[in-house]
Every structure is written in C-alpha cells, then in structure tokens.
Structure 1
C-alpha cells in the first residue's frame, strides 16, 4: 500500500498544469519541475526535535509532505501573469495552517479563491465553509518572471 502512495505522489509532483497568457505551448519559455519531500522529526544532540526534509521512501497516514514546483524563465524576455496550477493527489489533504492567501479550488478547478472564502455543498444539498480536506487544486499567479529568474512554489499536505 505504501508503494502505491509513493507512485501517486511522484505522478502528482510532475502532473503540473501551467498556463501563461503570453506563451504558446510551443514556446515553453518557463520550465517546471516538481518534487515531493517528507517531513521527518529526529532528535538533535541536545535531545530536542530537529525537522528534516527527506525523500519519501515510505509514507503512512498522518505524514506531512512538502510538494514543490520549481520554475525558471529560460527565455530572454519577461513572462507576465504566469499561472501554475497543481492538483492535490487524492491520497493527501492540504495541511492545516496553510498560507491563508493561497489560491485554491475545492471543486476540481472550476472555481478559485482563498479557502476562507469558498463553500462546498455537502450531502443533502446543505452548504458549508470549505476546509483543507476539500481542496482539490492549488494555484499561483506570478505577476512577472524576469529572464533567467528561478523560484520555487510550495505547499504542505498530510497523507490521508
């Protein structure tokens, strides 16, 4: 079962949807690379907790993972309003305490907003405030990426 989780995470790390207003699919002026790391707590020399990020050989429910997308503008021009959209794998949920300004979708990418502003319809047609467990996608809009500029976009998730 654990290997299934890893393959889901690896696939999700590279299943990044990126869209840019000025670029066509043939241009690909921005390269993207995804990765997943697991938060591991160990003891330091003084007996205190030390948090390390490690490659996730095995994951179990409750593990905290860091999903990241690195980007680089490989063109000679600034790229404006570049959008990166990452679907969350079904085996994880967005971590509590995530950035309140993170733009998310709770309906498969149909609508977007801050989590606190979104609602979901539960069984029986009753609407409720959206929660981290409802998030299906995260999205970032980069106002401008200068020629040669690189960066990294991240979010934490918990294995279900």
Structure 2
C-alpha cells in the first residue's frame, strides 16, 4: 500500500472570509475511520494510506448571520467521494460548472457515480451561525 500525506495541511486548515458584512471562519478537519470489535471510531488523520476511509468535516462560524450563503468544497484528487452527511448537499462532477443531486447528474451516457464528484456545496440559511458539514471518501 502506498503511503501518502495528502496535503493534510491543505485538507485540514482554517480560513477566514468576509461575506456581506459578516465575518466567516471555516475550519476543515480530516479523520480516519477505523473499525474494531468495539465498533467504528474516527481518529484525526496523521498519515493516509491508499484504501483508507476518511471523513472530512467543515465547521464554520459566522458573526452577524443575517444573510444566506453558499459553502463549497473541492474534493481533493487523492480522494474518491463516497457520501455526504447532509441530504441537502449539491454536487458537481465537472469542476463546479454544473450542480445537482448525485442521482440526477450524468457523465456522458451514464448516471454519475460518487467517484465522479469533484465538488460539494451546501446552501446555508440566514441565521445559521455555526454548523458542521461532512462527507466521507476513500483515499485513492
């Protein structure tokens, strides 16, 4: 198995932005899913191996949350998207040009699969000032 450090600094980082008079802070974290006789556990990722199941979490804080906004995230090329923790997530399979639900998008003649997903986005309602958004993937 090939051992990689999938730019963990790029996957797990904090960013700050300003949107329509609001201060926005986003923190991204990467966890490895492990299974044992005791069940499933998530541990902070230090190093990733091909085939590892990972969960990526984005947490955001927003002051003055009076307007809706869109939170979007690129799925790193080293990862194959599996599913999202939020049924309302929209996905893109073409780098963010077209968006929709996974079951509705087509890649050529076939229905798009989870591995085709390049980007995810969530529409955040006015008044939501702190939430988690997550998705799972497999290291390629």
TM superposition score normalised by structure 2: 0.84
Shift in Å, 1:96:
5.2
Q: Distance in 1 between matches of 2:55 and 2:88?
A: 17
Matched, 1:155 2:135: yes
Shift in Å, 1:102:
2.2
Q: Which has the higher strand share?
A: 2
Secondary structure of the 2:49 match is coil
Q: Distance in 2 between matches of 1:15 and 1:87?
A: 15
Match of 1:113 in 2: 100
Q: Distance in 1 between matches of 2:18 and 2:112?
A: 26
Matched, 1:55 2:44: yes
Shift in Å, 1:43:
2.4
Q: CA RMSD in A?
A: 2.6
Aligned residues between the structures: 139
Asked if the contact 2:4/2:50 (under 8 Å) is kept, the reply is no
**Structure 2 unmatched ranges of 5 or more:** none
Match of 1:124 in 2: none
Alpha carbons of structure 1 residues 101 and 78: separation in structure 2 relative to 1, 3 Å = closer
Q: What does residue range 25-44 of structure 1 map to in structure 2 within 5 Å?
A: 27=21, 29-44=23-38
Q: 1:126-147, CA deviations, whole angstroms, 9 ceiling, x for partnerless residues?
A: x21110010000000111135x
**Structure 1 unmatched ranges of 5 or more:** 45-49, 122-126
Alpha carbons of structure 1 residues 78 and 102: separation in structure 2 relative to 1, 3 Å = closer
Q: What does residue range 1-160 of structure 1 map to in structure 2 within 5 Å?
A: 1-5=2-6, 7=7, 9-14=8-13, 20=19, 23=20, 27=21, 29-44=23-38, 50-74=39-63, 77-95=64-82, 101-121=88-108, 127-146=109-128, 149-160=129-140
